[in-house]
Amino acid sequence: MARYSLEEKEQVHSVFGTILDKLDTMERQPDSWEESHLVHALSYMESGVYDRARTALSDCVTPIAERSTWRANQLERNPRRYHVSRLRQRLEQVIVEARQR
């Protein structure tokens, strides 16, 4: 028996897609905080650990005023690598793989 149902996986995929859609609507790329949490969420989904992906997505949308200043400063040091289009492409791959499992 699968650890997560297809419905549970689709809910997480939907939340991820909604975040990307919101960034598109705002006509901007994810900031370093958002990028880090979105990439972690993708990695968790690729590994089949959807509860952790859900947590990463929840952390992703943390308002700026509530973010850990220390962590945000550390993330700002990293070069940006992921644009919305690349994140969306990886999400599509995750969705295909989830349906095959």
User: DSSP string spanning 9-73?
Assistant: HHHHHHHHHHHHHHHHHTT----HHHHHHHHHHHHHHHHT-HHHHHHHHHHHT--GGGS-HHHHH
Residue 61 is predicted with a pLDDT of: 97
Q: Write out pLDDT tens, residues 5-49.
A: 999 999 999 999 999 999 999 999 999 999 999 999 999 999 999
pLDDT, residue 1, reads: 43
Of the two residues 101 and 27, the one the predictor is more confident about is 27
- Sequence ranges of the domains in the chain: 6-100
pLDDT the model gives residue 82:
93
